[in-house]
Amino acid sequence: MNFVFNQAALIEYREAAEWYQHRSILAGPRFIHEVETAIEAILSDPQRYQPIGNGCQVFRLKRFPYKLYYLHEHELIIIYAVMHERRKPDVWRDRLG
């Protein structure tokens, strides 16, 4: 199984990683590792995580206030949003259509 970020999600991911990197020399790499670990978990069992509508599911990071919103289509995971829990909680809905 493979995965891709849509363009907006990739930008969100990079901006968050950069923000954490500027905050602390260790926080940036930890955030990246946490997202990579989340992606591995999603790839291993994509149906395991909470469905939230329109075929989308969500994975909550454990150590950071972020969620990954994704769709499972055949052998592909499409990550639609890497969202901070307190910002634009429904933005992923606009990206599905």
pTM: 0.90
Report whether pLDDT(91) > 90: no
pLDDT at 53: 85
- Can you state the angle between helices 27-44 and 7-23, rounded to 10 degrees? 140
Mean pLDDT of 48-69: 94
pLDDT band at 18 (very low <50, low <70, confident <90, very high): very high
For residue 33, give the CATH number of its domain. Answer: 3.30.2310.20
Q: How many domains does the chain have?
A: 1
- In tens, the pLDDT along 20-47 reads 999 999 999 999 999 999 999 999 999 9
Mean pLDDT over 64-93 rounds to: 88
Spatial separation of the C-alpha atoms in residues 26 and 41, rounded to whole Å: 23
Judge contact between 85 and 59, C-beta under 8 A: no
pLDDT over 90 at 78, yes or no: yes
- Enclosing domain of residue 31: 2-96
